[in-house]
């Protein structure tokens, strides 16, 4: 099994500085937050060429983190066409960023619902058109695009994500399952894996209180060990070959949380 960790856990630290430590804990993959403007071409080259030294790979670029940063104003279902176009442009920049780092996946989400005056049908059309454009662009760069359901967004459940992916109708658009998000929306982890098996390209592991998107380590929160064990078994049943990636935010000691999370899952898998 391959294990990854999202660099968001180590926010405030430089990615180049944390790579040796992450690899030393036993991870062989890391996710980078989608802020490409912070990485010059020279810095990207330096990161990419250093990875073999640590036996680690950049597995995803997270546009989801950028969407959650309200100051950027990213929104695929905005009633303002220029906002939607700027959002698509930002996703394309993240795809270029991923290609420069030899990452395989860029994932996106919708963190909001359309304004009340916007017909839901119209918002859907905008999202589908935008995702199709981004999926086609990602294919040109040999990057897979993944859609992550987000509890507060218009694409909030696995069923909705599957419907969107079917309507986009691109072989390059898949689905990312986030265990914490499923806990909030009340979706069963194992059933969700079975539903999404045809499109599943990546997973995020985290926990919460069942209400708030807290991104606790898996050993804290209302999702119990048995639920994660069933989740792992379901992934094996559908022959999931991707990374088991921890997207943790709320932890006082990042390296301690990463260590304990990895051990928690290794204990589940024997």
Residue 80: CB partners within 8 Å, gap ≥ 6? none
Question: pTM here?
Answer: 0.96
Q: What's the pLDDT tens digit per position in 167-224?
A: 999 999 999 999 999 999 999 999 999 999 999 999 999 999 999 999 999 999 999 9
Confidence of residue 269 (pLDDT cuts 50, 70, 90): confident
pLDDT tens track for 58-108: 999 998 878 878 778 899 999 999 999 999 999 999 999 999 999 999 999
pLDDT on residue 111: 86
pLDDT at residue 159, as a whole number? 98
Options 3.40.1160.10, 3.20.20.150, 3.40.190.10, 3.30.1360.30; CATH for 3-269 is 3.20.20.150
């Amino acid at each position: 099994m391959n294990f990854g960790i999202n660099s968001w856990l180590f926010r405030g630290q430089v990615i180049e500085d944390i790579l040796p430590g992450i690899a030393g804990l036993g991870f062989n993959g890391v996710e980078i937050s989608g802020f490409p403007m912070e990485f010059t071409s020279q810095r990207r080259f330096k990161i990419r060429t250093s990875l073999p030294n640590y036996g680690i790979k950049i597995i995803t670029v997270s546009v989801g983190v950028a969407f959650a940063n309200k100051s950027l104003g990213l929104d695929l279902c905005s009633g303002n066409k220029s906002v939607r176009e700027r959002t698509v442009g930002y996703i394309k920049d993240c795809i270029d960023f991923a290609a420069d780092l030899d990452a395989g996946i860029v994932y996106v989400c919708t963190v909001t619902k359309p304004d009340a005056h916007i017909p839901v049908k119209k918002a859907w059309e905008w999202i589908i058109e935008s995702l199709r454009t981004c999926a086609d662009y990602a294919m040109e760069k040999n990057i897979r695009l993944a859609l992550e359901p987000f509890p507060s967004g218009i694409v909030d459940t696995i069923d909705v994500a599957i419907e969107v992916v079917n309507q986009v109708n691109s072989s390059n658009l898949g689905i990312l399952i986030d265990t914490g998000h499923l806990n909030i929306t009340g979706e069963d982890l194992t059933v969700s894996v079975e539903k999404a098996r045809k499109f599943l390209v990546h997973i995020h592991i985290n926990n919460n209180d069942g209400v708030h998107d807290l991104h606790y380590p898996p050993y804290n929160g209302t999702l119990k060990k048995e639920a994660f064990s069933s989740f792992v078994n379901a992934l094996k049943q559908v022959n999931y070959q991707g990374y088991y990636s921890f997207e943790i935010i709320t932890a006082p000691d990042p390296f301690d949380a990463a260590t304990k999370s990895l051990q928690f899952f290794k204990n589940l898998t024997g």
